[in-house]
A and B are shown apart, each in its own frame.
Chain A
């Protein structure tokens, strides 16, 4: 630590820290229009001038200066102020707006002609960033208007002297208005260094320098993935969120958590008039830190308010009619009590949800307890349980202790077994890129990456060029590839010896394959060599990341087992600290921890559907889940749900499942809820309501507790369901759920850092035999149908079949390999028919080379999960479904 003096104040700061950050952290203003915290300085704007005693050459830039002991810094002298003003006036001269420096700005109305004879409509009153603009604030704080420092003194123009570049407003997320740009290049560096995307560049030279996306075309034709990181750093109105940009002068900010995937990025929601208008990353979760993805930033308004449920509905004949809440709840309670009396508790089942909060899942579990049924699960529960059981068998612990923040800070060798991680878990993929290609300060050693996936994703480009390996597995063969790797590693005597000394039975791996079709042996050898090297260096941090697909119980189990074996071979007893199991949906871990898993002798989701289909299951309560969207074999699920005597759905929109229900209870979106969720590495994160509930809708936890009160009065039982606030349920969870004892909704200070995990070193470790993957030879020119979560499609919009669910329309088509397409005679945009037996699906085709030959890909969210009609209901196979594809006649 160094001691320095800033403006007469004694301050302690780390030796060598960037001076500008230290000044800012200590609450002293310093203008900086090009600096990005945590990145090396660019020193382009020259406004962060300070006086450093003893420094040669006059005023110094605080961004390029570093902290030294006994440094004396002054930011408040007249010389510093004047120098900053002159520098800023040069920047202002090329900014479109003269009114930056006008102290009368607050008195102007659009259309006024002011004392300077400027038409006000041409100025900042017509700029969407007015009053929340960093450049404007900088002008104000440097007294540019008061001191009358203007670059245009004596000029009489009120219009631009030369033609201004055209803005790009062609995409639904990001507006780019180059005439506002001051060429600070923050966006270029954010895109390169914070995101590793590199979609933005400085084009041209000299006075004609400008910012451009991709090869100079529209933004949506570049490789921009609309994360909005450039918007966060832009000091002007050049890069803006398109939705609500005129409304986003916020009145309040609410810190909550994004529920679009299991990474659990914390977000700040800005509200105006009680409505969310803007989302920024919130650094509470240290893993997501200053980054979010397009889903977190833009999906809050994916659907219109009128598309959400605002009334509770009860079935009358063929239609659902609005009903008061009390009447609807009475019907549910009466009929549940009746069914229990007539058919027994086992004829009732509950579905919790990975989209609901811990509190709601806890209440689902508690309600099932009141009814006395062990049949409790959620639609993707069987897949998740299979993966979690595999990990538990390998490591002996359920709540794995591995901490995701180790990946960007420490990991040296990373193995990723996942298709297209940047689409399913965007920020997790970003942090892996951070480890491979570190750009941030403090500097760290780059890591090496091995990717095993069938589709080509962005991460594949971070393997080979950085000394890693990409193993392109055939679809469904991922487990086999990992097993082949494990077998090669255990062939290394040292690895085998240390595995044996850790008590592992290495013979369990002997059955693994030596070769895998489609992958060169030398490529496998290269990957194994990297892993063996990591095994030899026990001090090195490794990471094995597995993101099982949401369809395919056996596939998830085998892939997880195989990857766990590699972790065990590399790190023995402490392997659990290096193994990351990333579930697809947001709160799968929370639902599991809250006990939304089949109880003793209970049925899981597959069993519940079977029982309903056989007529044994009479009632199903669905809290936030949507089986028709997520379960493979939709026809069967639909038939089963149709046979129920009572289907109750709690959801915020009228999903396909809700349309079949007897009673629909209106829920609110996650952005309107209080509660907690548990992320992939079991960080417990807080949700806070940023928006009031709409109409009669109320959060599911309130509905569930009212239902609980009615059920206890009819069925008896001592449980209390009287909750005024979600935080009371959180309190109850701290008392009854293992690992959650710290997480008091109010009063806990460690949000984002606290994780509900076990230490993981006490468990019994064991290598898991990996099953032989089913091989599916192509027949009659059929193709493998791959599916998965994609980046741009919104869950809410997809579940009501909104044609705008993917506003960019990149994912509402089936992706066909371009060479297959030539053979099949399909061109981009053609209508095609996918067929599997009697199931048929017509949609548009798009060509790609990210999908391997012999397969097609369709987003699992496309049109409300319609891909499920083509998938066989869960059959335990590891192979993907095969379909035929033909051009529509």
Chain B
């Protein structure tokens, strides 16, 4: 792996961590804290610092849903996958979001404007089926509402 400005910066960021896999998660947290996600080249740098294989780092990053491999979007939509939302037609909301935004779960639209994220029930089932736009609960939603909302978000950005 060649040194670039980006890799040197990350190398400095994780220079404090000791070889071995004990420091792997702290190192990844630090990277995500700084950049909002774990960039691909960071996996190589962290691997080099901890003397692990790049693949081992990738395995850890993909295991924990808290660690992201894509940058955080400007507007984040969390789709609730809880049972109440599903019973009340959450699947349709998801399909509407995916088809209007033309992305799948855990993906961002071009330029990282809007991102879709699969979320777990937060207990506000009164509003089912619901989504959270930048953390704010929006619901109950019909498929039609969702399409309107998604189009607005897509055009706004």
User: Which of A's residues lie within 8 Å of B, judged by CB?
Assistant: 191-192, 197-205, 212-217, 222-223, 461, 465, 818, 847-849
Cross-chain contact B54 with A223 (CB below 8 angstroms): yes
Cross-chain contact A212 with B54 (CB below 8 angstroms): no
Instruction: Give Cα distance in the complex from A847 to B3, angstroms.
Output: 10
Task: Scan residues 80-122 of chain B and give those whose CB is less than 8 A from a CB of chain A.
Answer: none
The secondary-structure label for the interface of chain B is helix
B36-51 vs A: 1/0 string, CB under 8 Å?
0000100110000001
Name the distance in Å between A538's Cβ and chain B's nearest Cβ: 32
Query: Among the listed A202, A215, A461, A849, which residue makes an inter-chain contact with B54, where contact means beta carbons less than 8 Å apart?
Result: A215
User: A-B pairs with the 9 shortest C-beta distances?
Assistant: A198-B53, A201-B59, A201-B55, A203-B62, A215-B43, A465-B51, A215-B58, A204-B62, A205-B63
Question: Contacts of A205 on B, CB cut-off 8 Å?
Answer: 62-63, 65
Cross-chain contact B63 with A215 (CB below 8 angstroms): no
Instruction: Give Cα distance in the complex from A759 to B63, angstroms.
Output: 55
Cross-chain contact B53 with A212 (CB below 8 angstroms): no
User: Which of B's residues lie within 8 Å of A, judged by CB?
Assistant: 1-3, 19, 40, 43-44, 51-59, 62-63, 65, 69
Query: Among the listed B2, B19, B53, which residue makes an inter-chain contact with A818, where contact means beta carbons less than 8 Å apart?
Result: B2
Name the distance in Å between B25's Cβ and chain A's nearest Cβ: 14
Question: Contacts of B19 on A, CB cut-off 8 Å?
Answer: 465
Cross-chain contact A201 with B56 (CB below 8 angstroms): yes
Instruction: Give Cα distance in the complex from A764 to B53, angstroms.
Output: 47
Query: Among the listed B1, B3, B55, B63, which residue makes an inter-chain contact with A200, where contact means beta carbons less than 8 Å apart?
Result: B55
Query: Among the listed A202, A222, A465, A818, which residue makes an inter-chain contact with B59, where contact means beta carbons less than 8 Å apart?
Result: A202
Instruction: Give Cα distance in the complex from A200 to B1, angstroms.
Output: 17
Instruction: Give Cα distance in the complex from A215 to B53, angstroms.
Output: 9
Residue of A191, A216, A461 most packed against chain B (CB within 10 A): A216
Instruction: Give Cα distance in the complex from A202 to B59, angstroms.
Output: 6
Instruction: Give Cα distance in the complex from A214 to B65, angstroms.
Output: 19
7 A-B residue pairs with Cβ-Cβ distance under 8 Å, sorted by A, are A204-B63, A214-B55, A214-B58, A215-B54, A216-B40, A216-B58, A849-B2
Cross-chain contact A201 with B58 (CB below 8 angstroms): yes
Question: Contacts of B59 on A, CB cut-off 8 Å?
Answer: 201-203, 212
Question: Contacts of A213 on B, CB cut-off 8 Å?
Answer: 55
Cross-chain contact A214 with B62 (CB below 8 angstroms): no
Cross-chain contact A201 with B3 (CB below 8 angstroms): no
Question: Contacts of B44 on A, CB cut-off 8 Å?
Answer: 215
Name the distance in Å between A45's Cβ and chain B's nearest Cβ: 20
Question: Contacts of B62 on A, CB cut-off 8 Å?
Answer: 203-205, 212, 216
Question: Contacts of B40 on A, CB cut-off 8 Å?
Answer: 215-217
Question: Contacts of A223 on B, CB cut-off 8 Å?
Answer: 53-55
Question: Contacts of A217 on B, CB cut-off 8 Å?
Answer: 40
Question: Contacts of A198 on B, CB cut-off 8 Å?
Answer: 52-56
Instruction: Give Cα distance in the complex from A197 to B43, angstroms.
Output: 16
Question: Contacts of B57 on A, CB cut-off 8 Å?
Answer: 215
Instruction: Give Cα distance in the complex from A223 to B44, angstroms.
Output: 10
Known: A203-B62, A212-B62, A465-B19. A222 touches B55 (CB 8 A): yes
Name the distance in Å between B67's Cβ and chain A's nearest Cβ: 11
Instruction: Give Cα distance in the complex from A203 to B69, angstroms.
Output: 12
Residue of B52, B55, B57, B58 most packed against chain A (CB within 10 A): B55
Please give me the residue from chain A that is nearest to B59 by CB atom.
A201
Instruction: Give Cα distance in the complex from A847 to B52, angstroms.
Output: 23
Residue of A191, A192, A215 most packed against chain B (CB within 10 A): A215
Please give me the residue from chain A that is nearest to B65 by CB atom.
A205
Question: Contacts of B63 on A, CB cut-off 8 Å?
Answer: 203-205
Name the distance in Å between A604's Cβ and chain B's nearest Cβ: 42
Question: Contacts of B2 on A, CB cut-off 8 Å?
Answer: 818, 847-849
Name the distance in Å between B104's Cβ and chain A's nearest Cβ: 10
Question: Contacts of A192 on B, CB cut-off 8 Å?
Answer: 53
Known: A198-B52, A204-B63, A465-B51. A212 touches B58 (CB 8 A): yes
Please give me the residue from chain A that is nearest to B64 by CB atom.
A205
Name the distance in Å between A313's Cβ and chain B's nearest Cβ: 47
Question: Contacts of B69 on A, CB cut-off 8 Å?
Answer: 216
Cross-chain contact B55 with A212 (CB below 8 angstroms): yes
Known: A203-B62, A214-B58, A215-B58. A197 touches B3 (CB 8 A): no
Residue of A202, A461, A847, A849 most packed against chain B (CB within 10 A): A202
Instruction: Give Cα distance in the complex from A38 to B35, angstroms.
Output: 43
Instruction: Give Cα distance in the complex from A215 to B58, angstroms.
Output: 5
Cross-chain contact B3 with A199 (CB below 8 angstroms): no
Instruction: Give Cα distance in the complex from A118 to B44, angstroms.
Output: 45
Please give me the residue from chain A that is nearest to B55 by CB atom.
A201
Query: Among the listed B1, B51, B52, B55, which residue makes an inter-chain contact with A199, where contact means beta carbons less than 8 Å apart?
Result: B55
Instruction: Give Cα distance in the complex from A818 to B44, angstroms.
Output: 17
Name the distance in Å between B143's Cβ and chain A's nearest Cβ: 22
Instruction: Give Cα distance in the complex from A673 to B69, angstroms.
Output: 52
Residue of A198, A200, A204 most packed against chain B (CB within 10 A): A198
Instruction: Give Cα distance in the complex from A501 to B24, angstroms.
Output: 51
